[in-house]
Amino acid sequence: MLFSLIRHFIGRCVRKRDDAVHQPSKAPLRLHVGGQVAHADWKILDIQPGPNVSFVGPCTDLSQFDADSIGEIYASHVIEHLGYRRELALAFREFNRVLVPGGSAYISVPDLPTLCDLYLDPALTQDERYRVMKMMFGGQIDGADFHHVGLNEEFLTSHLRKAGFTDIVRTGNFGLFDDSSSFVFKGRPISLNVCARKPRG
């Protein structure tokens, strides 16, 4: 009788342990920096409160998030609003810190070489050239809507590498959100879209 009770107790403990091992772990957070539209799979971080904003704060200071706690970061037409002397490096270091090992950052910025080509195109009307100028320098509808840096693939890749990212690949449309990362003007995509990975080691 005693041996049966012991076997029963041990069996229950083993089953509980096995159940705990096989239970799916909570998926890391997916963070949409500067997003506006709610999405079931992503949480929004923005500098200003809003109806769909989950976290308020600058992307240069992600101290409200633990290290290695975020699976993916998406930032479309956000990084160009940062100063190139200090803020850009801070943001990318913070992205790298909070991402899980092997996590990805999807970065989209206005592609300065493309915009320069468009601006100099003699076929553009004055209104069209003005639109291109706004893509370069921001809409300037409020204090946060100014562009402080112009980026090409070389500059963006260099900043990401210095922050510790690897496997940096220029890509086409991310296909994640309907936003400026897929905007086409006069038949030309105006965004530089890059995927970068935090090393697993």
The amino acid sitting at 99 is L
Query: Is 2 a domain residue?
Result: no
Q: Is the pLDDT of residue 3 over 80?
A: no
CATH number of the domain enclosing 96: 3.40.50.150
Q: What is the pLDDT of residues 7-38, one digit of tens each?
A: 444 454 444 444 444 444 578 999 999 999 99
Query: Is 47 a domain residue?
Result: yes
Query: Is 134 a domain residue?
Result: yes
pTM as predicted: 0.85
When pLDDT is averaged across residues 145-167 and rounded to a whole number, the result is 97
Query: Is 99 a domain residue?
Result: yes
Q: Which domain covers residue 44, as residue numbers?
A: 23-197
Angstrom distances, CA of residue 11 to CA of 2, 7, 24, 157, 163: 14, 6, 22, 55, 50
pLDDT of residue 135: 97
Query: Is 185 a domain residue?
Result: yes
Q: What is the pLDDT of residues 130-146, one digit of tens each?
A: 999 999 999 999 888 89
pLDDT > 70 fraction of the chain, expressed in percent and rounded:
88
DSSP states of 90-104 as a string? HHHHHHHHHEEEEEE
Query: Is 8 a domain residue?
Result: no
Q: What is the pLDDT of residues 57-78, one digit of tens each?
A: 999 999 999 999 999 999 999 9
Query: Is 48 a domain residue?
Result: yes
Number of domains in the chain: 1
Query: Is 83 a domain residue?
Result: yes
- CA-closest candidate to residue 114, choices 181, 43, 175, 192: 192
CA angle 164-103-175, nearest 5°?
Answer: 115
